[in-house]
């Protein structure tokens, strides 16, 4: 069973969770930090909540998050209602429209959709000369309730007919691609989907994965070794492939820091992903040295 966000993470400092003692993973060309540091916890701003949902101005943030969790199916139905041919995957950063007019499709299920409020034009802060921005529809309250460092959004009073007019909001973060993983998590809170978006993981491990399962795995040296071995073998012991896996995990970490996304379950999952990929890198180096 997955759980909604807690009001505040339990002490947000790093804890070992039974970490293996090892030096930073290395080869002749790769130097990786042993841990991905967590920033100091910051709660989301009440002003950000009231800007997108004035009726929730005095509602406790934990209640808002629980409500969003329960309403996720309606919001996902709203995202699915957007006609795909009218939502460009990317647009030039220099020619972003103020609005996107998107026709709505009839709901494919019996769920009443809650339509998105904005389209984020997400570009990379690490590559300022990159010409395109990813166009990602979102519900502003989902982001405002979970991202402490998100620029304040305002939800327009846009009537819904057969077409939805969504404001386009430019946003610059370290990794637009990693943001797509985070956007999905903010809606469905699926820890298994976060992991499988980063690198190969055994389906038996992902089945019914919970936060307690993540923590238990972090405390088990044998379990960590088996997951690292699986990734190492799935990558054919290829250090270049494994380096790409570490880059995806690091990109996710950078986006979480930039957005102020302080979900404890997500951070523990990130810790696990880093442990697995470091272990896989170390195994690949040892296997190479032993000629396996």
Q: Is 291 left (phi over 0), alpha (psi -120 to 50) or beta?
A: left
Q: What is the pLDDT of residue 8?
A: 36
Q: Which residue has the tokens 């769920």?
A: 111
Q: Are strands 118-124 and 163-173 parallel, antiparallel or unpaired?
A: parallel
Q: What is the pLDDT of residue 32?
A: 79
Residues 155, 116: contact at Cβ < 8 Å? no
Q: How far is Cα 103 from Cα 235, in angstroms, rounded to an integer?
A: 42
What is residue 125's three-state secondary structure?
coil
| pLDDT tens profile 180-189 | 999 999 999 9
CA-based radius of gyration for the chain: 20
The angle formed by the CA atoms of residues 157, 140 and 107, to the nearest 5 degrees, is 75
* Distance between start and end Cα atoms, the chain: 40
Q: How far is Cα 87 from Cα 260, in angstroms, rounded to an integer?
A: 27
Strands (E), 16-162: 90-92, 99-103, 118-124, 132-138
Instruction: Find the helix packing angle between 211-218 and 264-289, rounded to 10°.
Output: 40
Q: How far is Cα 238 from Cα 148, in angstroms, rounded to an integer?
A: 38
Domain boundaries of the chain, sorted by first residue? 42-173, 175-292
Q: How far is Cα 20 from Cα 5, in angstroms, rounded to an integer?
A: 28
Q: What is the pLDDT of residue 158?
A: 63
What is residue 280's three-state secondary structure?
helix
Which H/E stretch holds residue 173?
strand 163-173
Q: What is the pLDDT of residue 199?
A: 98
Q: Is 128 left (phi over 0), alpha (psi -120 to 50) or beta?
A: alpha
Q: What is the pLDDT of residue 33?
A: 87
What is residue 221's three-state secondary structure?
helix
Q: How far is Cα 219 from Cα 75, in angstroms, rounded to an integer?
A: 36
pLDDT by residue, tens only, the chain of 292 residues: 233 333 333 344 444 333 443 444 444 445 678 899 999 999 999 999 999 999 998 999 999 999 999 999 999 999 999 988 888 999 999 999 999 999 988 777 778 899 999 999 999 998 878 889 999 999 999 999 999 998 888 876 665 678 899 999 999 999 999 999 999 999 999 999 999 999 999 999 999 999 999 999 999 999 999 999 999 999 999 999 999 999 999 999 999 999 999 999 999 999 999 999 999 999 999 988 887 6
pTM (two decimals): 0.87
Residues 139, 117: contact at Cβ < 8 Å? yes
As beta bridge partners, residue 119 has 137, 168
Q: What is the pLDDT of residue 131?
A: 86
């Amino acid at each position: 069973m997955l759980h909604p966000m807690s009001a505040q993470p339990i002490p947000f400092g790093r804890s070992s969770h039974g970490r293996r003692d090892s030096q930073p993973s290395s080869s002749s060309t790769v130097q990786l930090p042993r841990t991905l540091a967590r920033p100091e916890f910051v709660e989301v701003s009440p002003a950000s909540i009231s800007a997108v949902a004035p009726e929730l101005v005095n509602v406790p943030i934990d209640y808002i998050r629980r409500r969003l969790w329960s309403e996720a199916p309606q919001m996902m139905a709203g995202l699915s209602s957007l006609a795909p041919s009218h939502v460009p995957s990317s647009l030039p950063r220099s020619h972003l429209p103020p609005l996107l007019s998107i026709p709505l499709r009839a709901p494919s299920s019996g769920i009443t959709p809650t339509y998105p409020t904005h389209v984020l034009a997400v570009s990379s802060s690490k590559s300022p000369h990159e010409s395109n921005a990813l166009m990602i529809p979102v519900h502003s309250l989902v982001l405002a309730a979970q991202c402490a460092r998100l620029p304040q959004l305002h939800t327009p009073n846009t009537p819904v007919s057969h077409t939805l007019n969504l404001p386009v909001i430019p946003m610059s973060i370290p990794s637009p691609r990693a943001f797509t993983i985070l956007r999905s998590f903010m809606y469905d809170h699926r820890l298994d989907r976060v992991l499988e978006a980063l690198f190969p993981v055994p389906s038996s491990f992902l089945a019914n994965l919970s936060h307690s399962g993540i923590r238990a795995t972090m405390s088990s040296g044998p379990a960590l070794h088996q997951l690292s071995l699986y990734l190492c073998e799935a990558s054919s012991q290829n250090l270049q492939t494994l380096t790409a896996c570490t880059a995806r995990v690091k990109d996710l970490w950078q986006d979480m820091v930039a957005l102020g996304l302080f979900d404890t379950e997500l951070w523990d999952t990130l810790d696990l992903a880093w442990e697995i990929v470091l272990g896989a890198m170390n195994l690949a180096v040892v296997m190479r040295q032993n000629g396996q």
